[in-house]
Structure 1
Amino acid sequence: MSVLGLSAMTPALSADLGLEKAPVAPKEIPSSFFLFSDTQVSYRYVMDSREPGVPATKGDPLAGRSIPKNVINISHADAWAYGTNFFSLDILKSGNQDPSGFAFPRLSEQTGVGATEAYGLYRGTLSGNALTGSKAFAVPGFVKDISLSYGTDLNSKNTSFGSEKRLVVAGLNFALDVPAGFLNVSVHASKEFNRNGIVPLPARAVEFDFTPEIEIVYNIPLAFTGLPLSLAGFNNVVMPKGRDGFGAQTVTEFLSRTNLVLDIGKLVYDQPNKVDAFVGFQYWRNKFGNDMRRVAGSEEKTFLAGFAFHIL
């Protein structure tokens, strides 16, 4: 997993691959450096998530255990003369179906309460058109801009497994020329380091192979509805990245989320980009590269819902 949200950006920021849960328009700010900026706080409830290695207690164990999650997110997006930046921090609280725990003194020890995870993400771009002062990286009708794209993911989770993901990505971002909204495609080389707290020392540090990674982000306004609605989402593909911390070969991972977003501020009191509400659906195949045919809880199909407040 390398992407945990939807785009927080509008067509004006379409060269970026910022990812957040309730996509919005960044507000213009009086600044000699930043062209515009948006900071938001959001909450979402994930109804039926799964975790690899956590089997179902009833029915088919391979299907995995249903785990509700409450998620608080803080994110910031901005644009400057030559590119964009996006920062996101998720704090995820699982139900007790995904118990917290630790590797000492016993591997099996659990606290009886749900696990807590922090997941941070950064994505940045440098615009080819802006750097060259030309339209050399635009193909009318196909691509608006081609940018250098780079970023990192960091996480920590207080389970016995004790995930400590450290991911770096770098590559190209293609801002496709669409009639409304935006559609961005990034093609990256990625390298992940992680931790497996279940296996004995000193084998807990895990280094995965370099592998291709693709991120697709879109935000399409639904003007035909007569409402301030948009369809926003992302798709993320991570190719096999070598062997995991148990020695098993990883497989291609696919993550997709689509949100239907309603601008409540615009609808109720004619102040757009203040408060959003959203509902969505998430599909995760071979979660974290685990083979869903062999590892319980490696396929996730869940609805989610939430709201976002834009504070700056």
Structure 2
Amino acid sequence: MIATFTRPLVAATLSLATLMPALAADLAKEKAPVAPVEVPSGFFLFSDTQISYRYQFPAARPGSQIQRADGSFRNQDAPKHILNISHADAWAYGTNFFTLDILKSGSQFSAGTTDGTGAPTFYDYGNTEAYGLYRGTLSLNALTGTKAFVVPGIIKDVSLAYGFDANAQNDAFGSKKRDVVGGLNFAFDVPAGFLSASVHAYKEWNRNGFNVAPNRDTSFNTVPEFEIVYSFPLAFTGLPLSIAGFNNIVLPKGRGVNDPSAFATNPKTGLEFLSRTNLVLDVGKLIYDQPNRVDVFIGFQYWLNKFGNIERANFKGTEEKSFLAGVSFHVF
């Protein structure tokens, strides 16, 4: 039985475009005056919209396992095809970022439904998920008209950070995740590229199709959540190549339910760690001398306690080690 607690922030669904908010933030800090009196002409200092595709294998799903001849269990893996559209922009006082993933799983992770008693029905084709995310920042230096939040050589700026996630998925679990985050973002002063870290309070609501009313809707504890985003050029290669990625940590958020009768399908969650690293080549710059038009990338993703699930002897799929490859088009 699957006990999926749908992904945190960057969860896994985020494409290379996830890295754009920090880049936009750096541009905003460098281009915007410390105390802008009026919104600059054109409003946005930076704007980028991308459409991308990536292939991921092998993806894992908590509760999806295969029993070996000796009675033990191993992960059931499946590929995923992921279409993404994302937008990032910077203005005088901060940044905005939105991304939407459409994820199509292989038939190993089947679509399905559950009835009012929690009994599942599985179909012979893979499930589809839509996952959206928004993040915004407001620069404290810009808001105060000072450089009080600069630590020379270490911190460029400190910003208020906020956002939300939402998803829907047509599998038997039927997750309907909604979460909000709020906290601070720190933009570090690095010689090239960018590095930022956010510290958030994280609150999640979800749905567990294997539960029956009133436990089908779940509400998790508010816990700390940490996000690190980075991108660094690899100039020594002589190519328009960079390494880019993120790390995301969500502390244990409880069971989501208080009814002991539902504990079997809502075990305690563990510390969740998600990391992705991409090697990115700017093909437009390499071939056509037109940078920031077309990128190709390969990467590796590691996910511990996926969705917060803790592995047990007969419950696998909570640790994911997968490769990915894709292409991204900057449309405007």
TM-score (norm 2): 0.86
* CA distance in structure 2 between the aligned counterparts of 1:125 and 1:9, rounded to whole angstroms: 9
Paired AA for residue 3 in structure 1: V
Give the match for residue 302 of structure 1.
322
Query: Which of 7, 10, 16 matches 1:3?
Result: 10
Provide, for residues 65-116 of structure 1, a one-character-per-residue CA deviation record: whole Å limited to 9, x for no partner.
1110000000000001100000000000000000000013882311210000
| Residues 1:111 and 2:123 aligned together | yes
Describe the SS at the equivalent of 1:125: strand
Identify the residue that residue 196 of structure 1 maps to in structure 2: 208
Q: Aligned equivalents of 1:291 and 1:90: distance in 2?
A: 25
Task: Report if the CA contact (8 A) 1:15-1:174 is conserved.
Answer: no
Q: Contact conserved, 1:39 with 1:311, CA < 8 A, in 2?
A: yes
Residues in 1 aligned to 2:288 and 2:142: alpha-carbon distance in whole angstroms: 37
Is contact 1:185–1:214 with CA below 8 Å preserved after alignment? yes
Number of the residue aligned with 2:65: 55
SS at match of 1:209: coil
Whether 1:98 aligns to 2:109 is: yes
Q: How far is 1:61 from its partner?
A: 5.8
- TM-superposition CA deviations, 1:92-146 (whole Å, max 9, x none): 0000000000013882311210000000000000001111111110101110000
Deviation at 1:58, TM superposition (A): 4.8
Instruction: String of CA shifts for 1:139-161, please: whole Å, max 9, x gaps.
Output: 01110000000000101110110
Structure 2 CA distance for aligned equivalents of residues 61 and 38 of structure 1? 49
Change (3 A) 1:37 1:213: same
Partner of 2:51: 41
How many residue pairs end up in the alignment?
299
Q: 1: distance between equivalents of 2:111 and 2:214?
A: 22
Unaligned 5+ residue runs, structure 2? 1-7, 29-39, 258-264
When residues 50 and 31 of structure 1 are mapped into structure 2, their CA distance, relative to the original with a 3 A threshold, is farther
Aligned partner of 2:175 in structure 1 is 163
Q: What does residue 136 of structure 2 align with?
A: 124
* Separation (CA, whole Å) in 2 of partners of 1:56 and 1:224: 45
Q: Which runs of 5+ in 1 are unaligned?
A: 17-29
**Which amino acid counterpart does residue 292 of structure 2 have in structure 1?**
N
Q: Could you tell me whether the CA contact under 8 Å between 1:15 and 1:147 is conserved in 2?
A: no
Tell me whether 103-112 or 90-99 shows the greater mean CA deviation. Answer: 103-112
Q: How far did residue 62 of structure 1 move?
A: 4.5
For residues 234-273 of structure 1, what are the structure 2 equivalents within 5 Å? 234-244=246-256, 246-273=265-292
Residue 141 of structure 1 corresponds to 153
Is structure 2 residue 232 aligned with structure 1 residue 225? no
Secondary structure at the aligned position of 1:178 is classed as: coil
Per the alignment, residue 279 of structure 1 pairs with: 298
What CA deviation, in whole Å up to 9, does each residue of 1:180-201 have, x standing for no partner?
Answer: 1011000000000000011122
- Give runs of aligned pairs for residues 178-189 of structure 1, distance below 5 A: 178-189=190-201
Q: Of 285, 289, 293, which aligns to 2:308?
A: 289
- Normalised by the length of structure 1, the TM-score is 0.91
Q: Identity of aligned pairs, percent?
A: 60
Residue aligning to 1:26:
none
Q: Distance in 2 between matches of 1:243 and 1:15?
A: 41
2:272 is matched by which residue type in structure 1?
E
Q: In 2, are the aligned partners of 1:15 and 1:175 still within 8 Å (CA)?
A: no
Q: Residues of 1 paired with 2:318 and 2:73: CA distance?
A: 8
Higher helix residue share? 2
Q: CA deviation at 1:10?
A: 6.3
Q: Secondary structure at the match of 2:302?
A: strand
